[in-house]
Amino acid sequence: MDDHFEDRIGKNKNRRGVLLAEVLVTAFLVMAITFFSFLAILKQLARARDARRKADLDRLKIAMEEYYFTFLRYPRELPDCGQPLLVNNTKILAAIPCDPKTDQRYYYESKRGNGQYFRICALLEDGGDNSIDFARCRGGCGGDCQYNYGVSSANVALISCSYVCAPGGGKTGSCELYNDPEISLCPKLYYRDATCQGECSNPANRCQNASGKNIPY
């Protein structure tokens, strides 16, 4: 075998190596583009569901006020998903909307008698949605603080949950989840940070009282 023939074999091997590397790089780029495109589609679908949730709650809020205008009270609870909201054969809403992903009813809370009110909450998938801040639900809303968006009757605000520095706790302080930190006059809110950034040892960061820790529903 002459040197010229060996050179050609070596060049062919090098060329195959380069082609294989190019194929692998191309395949990797295609996979990456496909992956990120898939994530973008999932994000758009989540935002579309969030838009549906907000529209659903707006519809429910209008229906609650119409209900009150007709019967001078808010409903104690809502019917199951897809069922009409009826009272004495009067149709207030053709079908109760429910979460587009879980098919579960939205969180509904109502008080009857003096000072009656309602609150309706949902969980948005896009944590960066500005509506969460507008609803003041960045740390959570609802009876168990698991929702991040909601609407309510005009005479009451949403319960805005957050981790705060409790008024007690000794020298080290205590970081706790409060259902309504506003009525406890808490100077700082830590939203979903269960450590309160380790700032509870400073009395200046602590709530004035514990009345907002548990709100009866």
Question: Any idea where the domains of the chain sit in the sequence?
Answer: 41-152
Cα 44 from chain centroid (whole Å):
16
pLDDT at 54: 97
pLDDT at 153: 93
Read off the pLDDT of residues 174-213 as tens digits, 9 standing for 90 and up. 999 888 888 889 999 888 788 999 999 999 999 999 888 8
Is the predicted pLDDT of residue 9 greater than 70, yes or no?
A: no
pLDDT at 60: 97
Single-letter residue type at 29: L
pLDDT at 136: 86
Q: At which residue do the structure tokens 């758009």 appear?
A: 44
Name 93's bridge partners. 85
Provide the pLDDT confidence category of residue 217 given band limits of 50, 70 and 90.
Answer: very low
Read off the pLDDT of residues 108-142 as tens digits, 9 standing for 90 and up. 999 876 669 999 999 999 999 999 999 988 888 88
- In this prediction the pTM is 0.71
Return d(Cα 162, Cα 140) in angstroms, integer.
7
State the pairing for strand pair 117-122/149-152.
Answer: antiparallel
